[in-house]
């Protein structure tokens, strides 16, 4: 049985540039993989099947990844997929897309298709937004609906504190609320420059998320967590994706470990993990 780690991500910045003709929002983001993950195992079997430690919808991203790959490569094999889920739902940490990306990496390995990387990236884009980024699994500026990738080289070690409120945010509702009330528009490339240079003050000054104001109205716990982090001196903090997880970036893990002790008393999901490079 093959095994892969499906790493979570944070959107250190998310800028909505507009709305496309197909109704999708045109995005520009600085996406960072973090060392917190689901585990995906896969083995050939007579029928397609998925087992998980949590309930999954029938049209889950793991099955979709296999079927999208089957359309391109024409393989006939079926698989049993076993998912050990740790990344929470409606958290803005990309759990479902990370799982799909892991399935694609396992298919590439099992079917010996290492020379078809470009095809796998196209398949990832078809499976869903953010899947291409989580397939390559390295810091990137991503654009479009997440299918355009520009690698970012981080020369400094960063840690991130993750705190998810005890309820989530629906991504469609967050975008709908943004369409109603609008939001901020961070300079994603200036943030990338600050992170490349190791400038925490610059990271704090340039990070942002167009969906924050929308998410604040949908989940009343997000904004107080963000304010509390900043009162602790964690200025390089924000919300990931459409919410509801709030993060703080720092170069000293001990600072975040101390902050985690405060939040873990009140919230079901807290973690301190490394940003992967």
Residue pLDDT, tens place only, 52-89? 999 998 889 999 999 999 999 999 999 999 999 999 99
| CA–CA separation, 165 and 168 (whole Å) | 7
39 and 140 in one domain?
A: yes
Respond yes or no: is residue 9 known to be catalytic. Answer: yes
Which residues, in sequence order, are bridge partners of residue 4?
40
Contact 14, 186 (CB under 8 A): yes
The rounded percent of the chain whose pLDDT value lies above 70 is: 100
Residue numbers of the domain that contains 136: 2-151
- In this structure, the answer to whether residues 32 and 11 fall within a common structural domain is yes
Q: Which of 4, 38, 99, 130 is catalytic?
A: 130
pLDDT value for 173: 97
Radius of gyration of the chain, Cα coordinates, nearest whole angstrom:
18
Q: Supply the CATH number for residue 178's domain.
A: 3.30.70.890
Domain shared by 118 and 166, yes or no: no
Reference 53, options 9, 89, 4; nearest CA is 89
Q: Determine the Cα–Cα distance for residues 195 and 107; give it in Å rounded to an integer.
A: 33
Query: What's the CATH code of the domain at 20?
Result: 3.30.230.10
Least confident stretch, 8-17, 28-37, 49-58, 93-102: 49-58
Instruction: Given the residues 9, 164, 177, 260, select the one marked as catalytic.
Output: 9
User: How much is the mean pLDDT over the chain?
Assistant: 96
Mark whether 6 and 74 lie in a shared domain: yes
Q: Which of 104, 126, 151 is the last residue of a domain?
A: 151
Same domain, 121 and 40: yes
Domain boundary among 124, 151, 178: 151
Q: Are 26 and 45 in contact (CB under 8 A)?
A: no
* Element (DSSP H or E) covering residue 40: strand 25-45
Is 130 an annotated catalytic residue?
Answer: yes
| 126 shares a domain with 177 | no
Q: Are residues 118 and 27 in the same domain?
A: yes
Given 125, 151, 177, the domain boundary residue is: 151
- How many domains are there within the chain? 2
Q: Is the pTM higher than 0.85?
A: yes
Range of weakest confidence among 13-27, 94-108, 112-126: 13-27
For residues 134 and 169, state if they share a domain.
no
Element (H, E) at 31: strand 25-45
Same domain, 72 and 102: yes
Claim to verify: residue 198 and residue 119 sit in the same structural domain: no
Which pLDDT score, from 0 to 100, does residue 59 have? 85
Is 90 exceeded by the pLDDT of residue 271? yes
pLDDT over 90, % of the chain = 94
Residues 18, 114 within the same domain: yes
The span from the CA of 80 to the CA of 78, in Å, is: 7
Q: What pLDDT score does 115 carry?
A: 96
């Amino acid at each position: 049985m093959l095994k892969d780690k499906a790493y979570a991500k944070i959107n250190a910045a998310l800028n909505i540039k507009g709305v496309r003709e197909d109704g999708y929002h045109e995005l520009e983001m600085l996406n960072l993989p973090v060392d917190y993950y689901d585990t995906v195992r896969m083995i050939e079997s007579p029928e397609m099947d998925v087992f998980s430690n949590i309930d999954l919808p029938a049209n889950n991203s793991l099955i979709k990844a296999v079927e999208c790959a089957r359309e391109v490569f024409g393989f006939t094999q079926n698989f049993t997929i076993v998912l050990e889920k740790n990344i929470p739902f409606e958290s803005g940490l990309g759990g479902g897309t990370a799982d799909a990306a892991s399935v694609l990496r396992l298919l590439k390995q099992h079917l010996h298709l290492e020379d078809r990387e470009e095809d796998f990236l196209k398949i990832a884009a078809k499976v869903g937004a953010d899947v291409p980024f989580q397939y390559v699994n390295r810091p990137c500026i991503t654009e479009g609906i997440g299918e355009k990738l520009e690698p970012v080289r981080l020369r400094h070690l960063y840690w991130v504190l993750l705190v998810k409120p005890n309820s989530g945010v629906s991504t469609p509702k967050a975008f709908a609320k943004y369409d109603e009330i609008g939001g901020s528009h961070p300079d994603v490339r200036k943030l990338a420059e600050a992170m490349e240079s190791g400038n925490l003050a610059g990271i704090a000054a340039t990070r942002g998320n167009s969906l924050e104001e929308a998410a604040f109205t949908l989940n009343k716990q997000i904004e107080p967590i963000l304010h509390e982090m900043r009162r602790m001196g964690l200025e390089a903090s924000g919300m990931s994706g459409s919410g509801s997880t709030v993060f703080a970036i720092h170069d000293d893990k001990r600072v975040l470990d101390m902050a985690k002790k405060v939040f873990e008393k009140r919230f079901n999901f807290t973690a301190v993990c490394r940003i992967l490079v």
